[in-house]
Structure 1
């Protein structure tokens, strides 16, 4: 009995919520499963204005998919969380979650209590994570050749991008790569017409406020202001009084003196969070100082870290010169690339900070090139932090064999929950093989048999030939953290969906029921299931 038959009324109505949610989860998973593996295809996303995004990136597909079903949204949120935490593996997590939920629902239809299935899933997920950790090997420093393999796989075999990412990781160093609040993917910028490049420094995608300001400076003192470079404001009502107007003039004069203080300090670059007044612009232009306004908070922070500057508010400019000087950073060179309309800050005296500039031939491919580079960077960083395991779905098969052994020690119906985990662990390889044009049932069973026979956890399928192959010999690895998070995420969403017994529609704030009507993807779910 399948879920479509169930939804047609062959089973008690108490299963309605489970069947509805399972179908939604399965529909989301099926939307991305065709992208996984070296032979995975692209998805075209079209918005209501006809704008098109063509991508192979799982989280991009999930984020832009038109989805209203609450269960589908839960799955997408789990994938987003994986992207935020690890930066890679969202497609694997989604496929495994879809399999877990679907298998769990099938077991419920057969009469297995939900509580027992969830119990077994928890046991299976815990065992799977333990086995993954046991099979992981640490990366031997930032120069380990396996990092290039990781970058190539996550970067969809783009050699140039893999090279950029690995070079950037080496420039930054292992210590920085392991910092919890640092993301290598944040250092990536893709730009039409640019050449591929990695350098020690920061790019600000803004130009000089005034083209009369210097274009290129060396040995630069840097001031970073998380504020406007303008006089403090006076309320309109106060300006209408004699006292208020006098206060306004006093503040403007004080501001002017504060700006002029920066000249004897030798400041040559100022980055401001907001705008700059005409008066300040004139003074600083005459003094040969580069000013960049409306810089994002992320870029302000990166510049401050790289140059050793301390971010200040404009009120801090009232301090004495000696105090202001303590807030300044420095860089060997600052210049504007007028063609690309960006400011480059090179070789700062603070923390090492590399920038990966990914070139793109046309505007249409800029976004996808950037997504590919970010995936590769995230995977490399995850490998440095947590080690690697054989890729290509091989390690999941090895883990499934160990989880299946755990079934023997579990009493009662919880064993059916473990079966769900075993099936889910086989799904990545099955889908990779299917996308390559081979029979997944045949190939998965071949891999299981040969892994047991050869006592090897790295045997998988060569997607070019369809033959058995050692993934490690082919240089196919995955970061351990990506696998761990994907397995945990799949277990969490499966447990959450299986626990839902009833769906009740909430009333709106005005006391009326909401509109049931969905659109696009949501209507497709209702129509298909």
Structure 2
């Protein structure tokens, strides 16, 4: 009897199954070959988005399989929409996403730094240094760099009374985006939005209260901040009033339609009388529903579901304005803003469950007369909406992404009001500190320290390259000036103003963002350096 190409095992129920040996169909990378493969994949990803760094960085055009075009220079968006197959490439995508989720800014810089660290690690591996010693050295160097960041960080005034410093930080974030032609206005909108919902006692910002809504048409300059909620809906009937004052809102998740019998039996209408009875029953139910809403004292019904023309006309006759097909997240935001309760059944509606708003109005845009509904002067007036305008959908989406970065960086400053200076100034200061400490080490980790210091210089180098400067000369000059003067605000003059002092140029970055970039990049590189065995299917596409 021929033996099976595998072995028999049993599951928890005692049923046998065969484990097929598939070693001959596996492709395997081990040792230095695996590490080199990882480093090469990471470098390709980092080099792809390196040119997007800084105020003069280039944009990327991404085309989805169904032909949808995205133009952006936001690192997280570029990586998310790239079709990355290599597993290490996917780790870098997750790294960028982690930075985006935690901080919101620095998504390009963190990947560029990780790529540079791995590039330096490759040279150390060629010298015969064990990857574990490199990883440990990187971790120690990261601690030293973070210590240096904490020393050079400056306290930052954050208050609702004087938003100007926060606006300058938001302008730094938006300076590298596609919307930089009106980045002062966008920065002001972002700061006002965050200050409206910020709690300075707990040092927290509830992002759930800030909604960013986009509407194609108009110019970017038409973008505005609404102290309330904007929804892309209109009144359900064109003859309903377009403006309501001192509104009581009934927020409903039950439809304006007769209840359907929960049975498998079907209803046969065989005569005119049966049809009239059914229609009369439906009308009575409609009237009962509308009366229940009116009885609770509501002057506007906001419904998650639709309703037919008959119910719509009845609402008009009973003088009860209504809005239909309002989505779940929008319903929740309206409930938070107006202080109302979401009601699942008409019978449960009562005056204490109604939301209140000072003004509900329809606004229309341009020649197309596109209309949206604005709910203002809410009882919980902290809820705000940013209404982004733009010439096409691509511009609107990129503006929304840019505003998200600005909102996140202002939130970071509310949570921790300390800043460092941009233009690569903080990275150069950390690089000098790490390189200095390398001279004091007698162990093998000194090589990793020097490599980490060189990797930190990748950010100012990329900024200089993307600004059309002679990268090596610009970096050497600034390093010499920082080393001689000890001024950690000296960075790459990307805008070529003739003044490399980032403090005077107001190029400011959040300490929290910069610290997170260093820690996340180092952790990922340390993880990659410890992977020395990779198996994949026989076709070896990813290897």
**Is TM (by shorter chain) over 0.5?**
yes
Q: State the secondary structure of the residue aligned to 1:505.
A: strand
Instruction: Judge conservation of contact 2:228–2:381 (CA < 8 Å) in 1.
Output: no
What CA distance in whole angstroms lies between the structure 2 residues aligned with 1:291 and 1:87? 37
Q: How does 1:219-298 map to 2 (within 5 A)?
A: 219-226=246-253, 228-231=255-258, 233-235=260-262, 237-239=264-266, 257-276=288-307, 280-298=311-329
Higher percent of residues as strand = 2
Match for residue 230 of structure 2 among 189, 203, 206: 203
Structure 1 residue matching 2:370: 3-state secondary structure: coil
1:448 aligns with 2:479: yes
Q: Which of 154, 168, 175 matches 1:149? A: 168
Provide the TM-score with structure 1 as the length reference: 0.84
Contact preservation (8 Å) 1:24, 1:72: yes
The match for 1:19 among 36, 40, 49 is 36
Q: Which residue of 2 aligns with 1:93?
A: 110
Q: How does 1:275-424 map to 2 (within 5 A)?
A: 275-276=306-307, 280-313=311-344, 315=345, 317-319=346-348, 324-338=350-364, 339-387=369-417, 388-408=419-439, 410-424=441-455
- Name the SS for the 2:359 alignment partner: strand
Where does structure 2 lack aligned partners over 5 or more consecutive residues? 1-28, 270-276
Query: Comparing both structures, which one devotes a greater share of its residues to helix?
Result: 1
In 2, the alpha carbon distance for the partners of 1:190 and 1:175 equals 32
From the superposition, tell whether residues 240 and 101 of structure 1 become closer, same or farther in structure 2 (CA, over 3 Å). Answer: farther
Matches within 5 A, 1:463-474: 463-465=494-496, 467=498, 469-474=500-505
Shift of 1:411: 5.0
Give the Cα–Cα distance (whole angstroms) in 2 for the partners of residues 439 and 184 of structure 1.
46
Task: State yes or no: 1:478 paired with 2:504.
Answer: no
**Residue of structure 1 equivalent to 2:186:** 161
CA deviations over 1:417-457 (Å, ceiling 9, x no partner): 33333223221111101111122222222222211222211
Structure 1 residues 109-120: aligned runs within 5 Å: 109-120=126-137
Cα displacement string for residues 216-247 of structure 1 (whole angstroms, at most 9, x for unaligned residues) = 111111222345454555445144699xxx9x
- The corresponding residue for 1:62 is 79
How is 1:429-444 mapped onto 2 (pairs within 5 angstroms)? 429-444=460-475
Pairing 1:499–2:530 present: yes
The CA deviation string for residues 10-62 of structure 1, in whole angstroms up to 9 with x for no partner, is: xx962222112111111111111111112111112233454432222222211
Q: 2:149 aligns with which of 128, 132, 150?
A: 132
Count, aligned residues: 494
Check conservation: 1:276, 1:293, Cα contact below 8 A. Answer: yes
SS at match of 2:362: strand
For 1:176 and 1:292, locate their aligned partners in 2 and report how far apart those are by CA, in whole Å.
37
C-alpha change, 1:312 and 1:439, in structure 2 (3 Å) is same
State the structure with more CA Rg: 2
* CA shift in 2, pair 1:230/1:430, >3 Å: farther
Q: Distance in 2 between matches of 1:204 and 1:181?
A: 20
- Alpha carbons of 1:473 and 1:238: their partners in 2 closer, same or farther (altered >3 Å)? same
Structure 1 residue 72, shift from structure 2 partner: 0.6
CA drift of 1:162 comes to 2.1
Q: What is the rounded CA distance, in whole Å, between the counterparts of 1:256 and 1:122 in structure 2?
A: 70
Query: Given that residues 177 and 384 in structure 1 are in contact (C-alpha distance below 8 angstroms), is that contact kept between their aligned partners in structure 2?
Result: no
Contiguous gaps of at least 5 residues in structure 1: 1-11, 507-512, 519-525
